[in-house]
Structure 1
C-alpha cells in the first residue's frame, strides 16, 4: 500500500517536506504510480524551494525525463489549473514552481527537442489544448491578476518558457495568442522600473521569435502603438537600466576625470546638496582583475537593448519619446543621456567578447535609426535639446573633456570616435566600423544640407579618421579578407572626401576648415599607399583625397624643401599656404557622396539572429527577483 504523502519526514533527516514531494514526483521507479489528490493539495501548499527543485531536476537525464513524462505532464496540468483558479497562495506557488520546472526541463539536451519537450509538458496528442490553456492562464494573470506581485510572477514565468524554448516550437504558442495588450496593461499598472523590466524584456523575445520567417504579430503591434504614457514608462525603465549597467563599469574602474569627484561634479552643476558623505575607498582591482571583471560586463539586463531597438525601428512615437523624455526628478539622468553614456562604455569595451560586440551593434542600429529621421536629427543637433552625458574615460587615448551640456549630435560623434580608436585589432570588427562610419556620414550630410554648425572639436574627428587610414594600410592583408571590408573602406573614403568638399557648410569657421586640409597633408604618402593597397585607383573619392594631398605637398615643397615632414614651416606659414592653395585647388569629389541607404533590418538578418540568441541566454539571468 502506498504511504500517505502526508507522512512526516523523519526529523533526523532535516529534509524540507517539499523536497520529499519533489523526489516522490520524479522518482523513476514510481512512474506508473498515480499520485493522490492529497499529494497535489500538499504540493501546492508548500512554498517552492528553488535550489532544491533545481537540484532534483538537474539529476534527471533527458531520457529519464521522457520516461517520467506522465508525472511531468500532470505537474504541468495541475499547475495550470491552480493558476486559473486564482486562489492564494496556491496560484503563486504554481507560477513559481513552473518557472523553475520549465527552466530545468526545457534546457536539457533532448534528441528531438521540439517533440520531446512537448511530450514532457503535455503529450503530443494534447499539446495544442494544454498549451493554449497555459498561455491563456498566463494572459489572464498578466492582465487582471489580483496584484502586481502575482502578475509579475506570471510575466517571469512567461519569460522563462520563452527564453528556455526560444529555438523550439514553444514560443509559437505565445504568437498564436496575442499577449501584447496584456503586457501593455501590466506595464501601465506597474509602480516601478523593477516591475516593468521583465515585461519589456519579454516583449523583445516575442518580437524576435522567427521574425524573419513569418509575419510576427508582436512586431506588427509595435508599428501602431501610440500610448505616450506607457511608452514613457518603458523609456524611463530603459534609462534607469542603462544607468545601472553603466555604473557596473564604473565600479570596476572609476574614471571620473582627474581632479573631479562626485561631489565636485554635482557642485559644478549646482546640485551640491545631493553629494554623498565621504566614505572609505575600496581597494582598486589589479589590471588582471579589471580585465576579468570587464569581460563579464555588461550585465544580463542589457537584453532590454533588443526590445528598445525593435520599438525604435518600428515606431516613430517611441523614437521621439526616447530623445525628448525628461528625467523624472531634478538631478536625475534623462533616458537619452543614460543610453548615450552606457553606449560610450560599451564602445570602449566592445572588443572584450563577441557578446559585448553584439550589443554594440544594437546601440549602433538605434543611433542610425535616430539620425536617419530628419525631425529627430534636427533635434539631436539643436541647442534646445542639449545633454550632459558621462562619457567613458577608462582607456587612452582620451578625447578632450567638455564640461556642461552639449548637443546630442556632438556626443554621438564622440562615441563614434572613441569606438574607432579603441577597437583597432588585426581581426577587425568590420560590422562595428561600417555602422560607425555610416552614422558619421549621415550626421555630416544633415549638418551640410541644413548648414548647421555645432560646437565640436573637429580636429579630433579628422585625426581619428586618418589614423584609421594608417591602421588599415598597415594591416591590409588581414583586413581585405574580412567580410564587408570593401563597404567599410568605401564609407571611409567617401566620408572624408565629403568633409573636404562640403566642410565649409558645417564647420564653424575657416580655421577649422583649414585644419582639415592640414591634417590631410600631414598624413603624407599614407593615402597613396592606402589607395594602391585596396585597389581604389578608379574610386573618385579616393583619388580626390590623394590629389588634394599631392596639391598641397607640391605647394609646400615649393616653399621649403622637405615641407611639413621636417616641420621647418611655422603654423602661420602652413596656414597661409593652405589658403593660397584654395585658389588653385579643384575638388572633384564626385556626385553621390552625401547619399546613403536607409536602414533595412534584412541587411543585418544574420547579426540580429545572433543577437537574439545572446539575449535569450541573458534572459535567464533576469528571471529571478532583482
Structure 2
C-alpha cells in the first residue's frame, strides 16, 4: 500500500491560548502602523482576557518601543471604549479588564517625557482631548450606572490605574475637568461589601490631592459640602474593616496579645499598681531579630486610604462626627474608631522602621489633631457615652499599663502619643513626629483644664515619658540642635510640662496624681538645669525656669527633712507629706499663654503632604493588583 500523502502535525509541547497570540499580534513592532481589522477586534474582545500574559508582554516592551507601537495602543484604547459603551456582555467586561491591565503596565514605564509620551501612547497628541474626554465620560457612566457592581468596580480600578500612573503628569487633569464625585458616591451607595468601596475611596483621595496646592481642586470643594450620612457611614465602616486588616498584618508577624491575669496586672487594674512587683505590668517576650524585615515591609498598600480619610476629616465635620459615633452592627465587633486607633498604635510603634511608615504616621497624627482641635468633638471623645475597647500595640518595650475595660477615647489617644514618644527615639530624631505628638498632648490637656474634665488615667506615665524625653534630648544634644526645627519641639515640650504643673489641679483626678508630678519634677531638678543651659532656655520668667524653681523648692524641703543632709532615705509617705506641706510656700508662675496653639492649617504642611501623596500614589499601583 502506498503511503498516504496526508501527514499529521505533531502536537505542540506547550499550548498557547489564542488570546496570547492576539496580544502578540497587537504589539508586534514590524507592523506598528497597520490598522487592525474589525474582525481582529471582534475576536479580541470575545476571548477571556489573560491578565498575567498581557502584563508579561507589555512589561517586556521598553518605553521607546512602546512609543513606536502607539498606533496599536491607541487603537486598543479607542476600540475598548467603543465596546464598553455598547454595554454588551461579556465583551464590555473583557474590554474594561483588558484596558485596566494595559494601563497598569503601559503607564508605569519610565518615559523620557512622561506627560506627552503617555498621551501619545493612549490617544495621540492631536486627538488627545477628544479621546480622553470620551474615555473619562465612559468611565463616569459605567461607575455610576454600569449593569453590575463587578463591572462598575472594574471601571473604578481603571480610573485608579490611570490616576496613579499619571499622577505627576497632566493626565489626571482630565478627571478634574469632568467631576466624578457624584458617580463615585453613587457607586459607594450601591456597593454590596466593604472590599468594593476601598478602590473608590482610595481614588477619591488621589483625585483630591492632585495639584491641590496649585489650583482650586473640585474634589476638595465637594468634600466640604457632602452631608449624605448613609454614604459617609458606609465609607467609615469600610475604612474600619480595612484598618483591622492592616493591623492584623502586624499581629501576624508577632502576636502581642497580652498574657492572662497576673498579680501585677490585677493590682494595676484595681488601681493598686504601685504594690505590684516591678513598675510595669507583665508583658510578652520581645520579637526575634528576623521579624525586623517583616515589620519594615508594613503597613500594606491599603494604608493609602488614610490619605482619603485625612482629606474627608479635614474638610467635613459630619465625617468626623460619624467616625466617632458609628457603632458596629454587632456588639462583639469593633467600631471604626476603635479599629483606626488600634492600627495607629501599631503604626506609631514601628514608625521609625521606614520613611514610608513615618509618612503615614504623620497622616494619622494630622487626623487626630483635627479631631482634638474641635472642642465639640473632643467633648464627645471624653464622654463616658463613647467608651470603647482598643487593642494597643505591645510589640516593643516600654509597655504602658494594660487597660482591661472600656475607656473614653481620649485616654486611648493619650496612650498613642506616649507610645509614639517612647518608641521612636533615635539620634537622628524625627522632630516633626515629636512636635505633632507633643502638640496633641497640649491640646488635650488644655481642654481638660478649661472644661474641668478629670479623666481616670495613668498620669504618672505622662510625666515619666516627658521627663525621660528631656533626658534623651540632653544625651544627644548636638544631634538634636543640628535640626533647625528642634527649637519648636523643645518649646512645645517645656510648655506642656509647665502647663501641667500650673493647671494640673484642674484636670488631674486626685491630689495624689498632682503630688506625683511634683515629685517627678523634683527628681529631675539637675537634668532640668542642664537642659535649660544646653538649649538656651535661660529666661528668668520662662516656663523652663518655672519648672526648675519648683524642683529647687521641693528639693530644699526634702533635704531639710533628712534627705542629703542626714543621709536618710524618705519613705513614699514622708515624701508625699513634704510635697503637701510645700504647697503652702510654693509660688507657681501663671499658665497664661502656655496652652496657646495654632489651629491645623494644611498649607503649613504642604511639603509633607506632597510627600505623603507620592507614597499613596505608589501604593495605589500595588493595591490595584489585589482589589
**Residue 235 of structure 1: how far off its partner (Å):** 0.2
Deviation at 1:46, TM superposition (A): 1.3
- Say whether residues 1:112 and 2:113 are aligned partners: yes
CA 563–49 in structure 1, closer or farther in 2 if over 3 Å, else same:
farther
Give 1:563 shift. 7.1
Question: 1:13 deviation in Å?
Answer: 4.4
- How far apart, CA to CA, are the structure 2 residues paired with 1:320 and 1:378? 11
Contact 1:180/1:218 (CA < 8 Å) preserved in 2? yes
How has the CA–CA distance of structure 1 residues 340 and 583 changed in structure 2, closer, same or farther, with 3 Å as cutoff? same
Is 2:560 the partner of 1:558?
Answer: yes
Closer, same or farther in 2 for the Cα pair 1:439/1:519, shift >3 Å?
same
Please state how far the C-alpha of 1:188 moved relative to its aligned partner.
Answer: 0.2
C-alpha separation in 2, matches of 1:285 and 1:433 = 24
- Counterpart CA distance in 2 for 1:299 and 1:84 is 35
The question of 1:326 aligning with 2:327 is answered yes
In structure 2, do the counterparts of structure 1 residues 411 and 590 end up closer, same or farther at CA, with 3 Å as the change threshold?
closer
Alignment match, 2:470: 469
Deviates more, 1:395-404 or 1:28-37: 28-37
Shift of the alpha carbon at 1:33? Answer: 2.3
Alignment RMSD (CA, Å): 1.8
**1:543 counterpart residue number:** 545
- In structure 2, the partner of 1:140 is 141
Q: CA deviation at 1:34?
A: 2.4
- Residue equivalent to 1:524: 525
- Match of 2:622, SS state, is coil
In structure 1, how many angstroms separate the alpha carbons of the residues matched to 2:247 and 2:120?
43
CA distance in 2, matches of 1:369, 1:577: 41
CA gap of 1:563–1:438, structure 2 versus 1, over 3 A, is farther
Shift of 1:9: 13
1:130 and 2:131 correspond? yes
Paired with 1:493 and 1:295, the residues of 2 have a C-alpha distance of 33
Aligned to 1:389: 390
What residue in structure 2 maps to residue 512 of structure 1?
Answer: 513
Tell me how many residue pairs correspond in the alignment. 597
User: Which residue number in structure 2 is paired with residue 280 of structure 1?
Assistant: none
So what's the TM-score if we normalise by structure 1?
A: 0.93
Distance apart, 1:560 and its partner CA: 2.3
Is the counterpart of residue 423 in structure 1 residue 424 in structure 2? yes
Structure 2 vs 1, CA of residues 286 and 400 (structure 1 numbering), >3 Å: closer, same or farther? Answer: closer
Aligned to 1:249: 250
Alpha-carbon distance in structure 2 between the residues aligned to 1:94 and 1:9: 34
Task: Write the deviation string for residues 106-135 of structure 1: whole angstroms up to 9, x where unpaired.
Answer: 111111110111111111111011000000
Structure 2 unaligned segments of length 5 or more: list them.
Answer: 1-8, 263-268, 270-284
Match of 1:339 in 2: 340
Q: Counterparts of 1:205-604 in structure 2 under 5 Å?
A: 205-259=206-260, 287-538=288-539, 540-562=542-564, 568-589=569-590, 591-604=592-605
Does the CA contact (< 8 Å) of 1:497 and 1:589 recur in 2?
A: no
Asked if the contact 2:562/2:568 (under 8 Å) is kept, the reply is no
**611-620 vs 476-485, greater mean Cα deviation:** 476-485
- CA-CA distance at 1:624 after TM superposition: 2.9
Superposition deviation, residue 569 in structure 1: 1.2
> Is the CA contact (8 Å cut-off) linking 2:97 and 2:154 kept in structure 1?
yes
Question: Which residue number in structure 1 is paired with residue 201 of structure 2?
Answer: 200
SS at 1:503's partner residue?
helix
Query: Which residue of structure 1 aligns with residue 55 of structure 2?
Result: 54
Separation in 2, partners of 1:175, 1:240: 29
Secondary structure, counterpart of 1:525 in structure 2? helix
The SS at the match of 2:49 is coil
Mapped contact 1:556–1:563 kept (Cα < 8 A): no
Report how far residue 85 of structure 1 moved: 1.1
Are the aligned partners of 1:21 and 1:43 in contact in 2 as well (CA < 8 Å)?
A: yes
Per-residue deviation, 1:287 = 1.7
What residue is the counterpart of 1:166 in the other structure?
167
Q: Which residue of 2 aligns with 1:264?
A: none
CA offsets per residue over residues 332-362 of structure 1, 9 Å max, x none?
0000000111111111111110100111111
